Amino acid sequence: MAKIEEKRKLNNFRELIDYTEETYGDNICYKYKKDIKEKPATIIETSFKTVATKVRGLATFILNYEKEMKRIVVIGDNSEKWVEGYLGVATSGKIVAPMDKLLPEKEIESLLKRSDIDAVITDKNHLEIFTRLRDKKDNKLETIICMEKVNIKDIIDMETAIEEGLKLLEMAIKNTMKLK
């Protein structure tokens, strides 16, 4: 007879991420096709441990970035990066606002203003819209994180944000300093 595991109370996303990493570690969290047009398609598999590491890195970056981020939109195609962005914000304890990728620009602009959004994690498809809205200066949007690598001034790519967050965590462990 299988042993029934005692339920563990999880109080927040950070504890959920820690729990799934401890429990499932190298098991596959999700798989997807790298390029659906490619035949045969290359299947990418991502472990719970990898997801947890990236989520922790992004959450740490969000908490320690020079510009405070309180309300953060996540918008883009369904993807590994979207999941990491959403969980990174939720794990940081900030307000995450998933936004429909099919919204017209006027509605995005209205939602930004009404919700006091100060940061966005977006894919390249929406990057131009959010850059334009940020530059209007009639809303609180300051920080734009792009899910893909970009070389645009004042745009942070998510991979770099994750790496910087992980470096901060590593320094904290080495120096036993406290991070937020």
Measure the CA–CA gap between 73 and 66, rounded to whole angstroms.
18
Domain for residue 3, yes or no? no
The domain of 131 spans: 48-174
pLDDT digits (tens, 9 = 90+) for 130-178: 999 999 989 999 999 999 999 999 999 999 999 999 999 999 888 875 6
How many folded domains does the chain comprise? 1
Domain for residue 72, yes or no? yes
Q: Name the nearest CA neighbour of 16 among 29, 3, 1.
A: 29
Measure the CA–CA gap between 107 and 81, rounded to whole angstroms.
24
Domain for residue 77, yes or no? yes
Please state, in angstroms and as integers, the Cα–Cα distance from residue 19 to each residue in 33, 165, 180, following that order.
Answer: 27, 20, 20
pLDDT digits (tens, 9 = 90+) for 14-26: 999 999 999 999 9
Please state, in angstroms and as integers, the Cα–Cα distance from residue 114 to each residue in 62, 123, 154, following that order.
Answer: 22, 22, 24
Domain for residue 150, yes or no? yes
Domain for residue 135, yes or no? yes
Measure the CA–CA gap between 124 and 28, rounded to whole angstroms.
27
Domain for residue 103, yes or no? yes
pTM over 0.95: no
CATH of the domain at 111: 3.40.50.980
Domain for residue 12, yes or no? no
Domain for residue 144, yes or no? yes
